[in-house]
Amino acid sequence: MALYTEERNLVEFTLRAVATANEVDFRKRLADLHPGGQHRIVAVVLLCWIAAKITLIHSPESAIMTVKERKKMVGESPPSESSENLAGRFTTAEAAALGRRFTELDRRLAADARPVEQHYTEVYEDLDPGEIDPPHFESRPLRCFHSEMPVGFGVDEFVANWE
């Protein structure tokens, strides 16, 4: 449990640095989360997904729900309990700041959603050629099927897009 708490704290501190646009602290915390010198944008993408859950939990429609009611909306990747725990550490204003900071990365990831859905629809058709209707992936969020990182968008570009 100590490692879990330590990791949650590090994720919180990293996201807090993003929310407050503290680039020095963000880069230090990101290096703690992802010690390898290369491919740190992968960790930023994971933080983007976590930040989206925090922002969702703080949204007006979600804020009036019970945790149990929100669970289906929040989803399980990462687990809703983890998302709720982290969301509780941020104010609504901080959550909104997180949402703004991740807007460009989220937009770039979302641009890949349609081609990815098409790819998996074709994979499904190859697996079950007798199926009349292709799967409807929008019935639930895709589970991180983004196969390519955004081209020309790394940690430096992420930070440069902060307002």
Segment 128-163, tens digit of pLDDT:
655 566 555 555 554 555 567 888 899 999 999 997
CA distance 110 to 142: 11
Residue located via tokens 């289906």: 72
Task: Give the chain as a 3 state SS string.
Answer: CHHHHHHHHHHHHHHHHHHCCCHHHHHHHHHHHCCCCCCHHHHHHHHHHHHHHHHHHCCHHHHCCCHHHHHHHHCCCCCHHHHHHHHCCCCHHHHHHHHHHCHHHHHHHHHCHHHHHHHHHHHHHHHCCCCCCCCCHHHCCCCCCCCCCCCCCCHHHHHHCCC
Tens digits of residue pLDDT in 67-78:
888 887 887 666
In a domain, 71, yes or no: yes
In a domain, 130, yes or no: no
In a domain, 137, yes or no: no
Domain of 108, in residue numbers:
2-112+148-160
Mean pLDDT of all residues in the chain? Answer: 85
Which structure tokens are listed for 74?
């929040």
In a domain, 127, yes or no: no
In a domain, 54, yes or no: yes
In a domain, 121, yes or no: no
Is the Cβ–Cβ distance between 84 and 74 less than 8 Å?
A: yes
Choice among 91-95, 120-124, 155-159 with the minimum mean pLDDT: 120-124
Domain count, the chain: 1
The residue type found at 64 is I
Tens digits of residue pLDDT in 44-85:
999 999 999 999 999 999 888 888 888 878 876 666 678 888
CA distance 63 to 73: 12
In a domain, 153, yes or no: yes
Which structure tokens are listed for 89?
């550490």
In a domain, 50, yes or no: yes
